[in-house]
Amino acid sequence: MSEVASQFSISIDQVSDFEFRVKFDKEQHADMLMDEPPPLGKDAAPNAGRMLAAAIGNCLSASFLFAARKNGLAPSRIHCDVKVEIVRNEKRRFRIGRIEVHLDPALSSEDVDKVKAVAAVFEDFCTITASVRQGIPVDVHIKGLEA
């Protein structure tokens, strides 16, 4: 296993039914609500799948911008669309089956060679996408059930 470079923690508290409040570890970060779509929740806020899509899209956009600037490019803006397909597994449980990302860095056609160089490396800098692609160990502990 790799050396731990840093750590952070968040906390999540139930507000009502399937609506939860996420509290981040930094005071300057506002709390965020999450909710499940019907029939479980009221769809009052994004659910975990949407947050994962946002994390992947944001990380890829930021990684592209980082690599672009390192290669002398200055995108005027970056637009990202993330499409998530929800499938059922063999037990009929919902799973994320596929995530498709489209980045539009609004770069000129004169920069095509530099864009190709960025495209070849930027995904390697995206912590979230690279981690999701490899699979992340998740240990779950339930208070009162620890041995």
pLDDT in tens, 92-125: 999 999 999 999 998 888 888 888 889 989 999 9
**Whether the model pTM is above 0.75:** yes
In tens, the pLDDT along 21-64 reads 999 999 999 999 999 999 999 999 999 999 999 999 999 999 99
* 126 exposure class (CB count in 10 Å sphere: 0-12, 13-18, 19+): buried
- Is there a contact between 20 and 33 (Cβ–Cβ < 8 Å)? yes
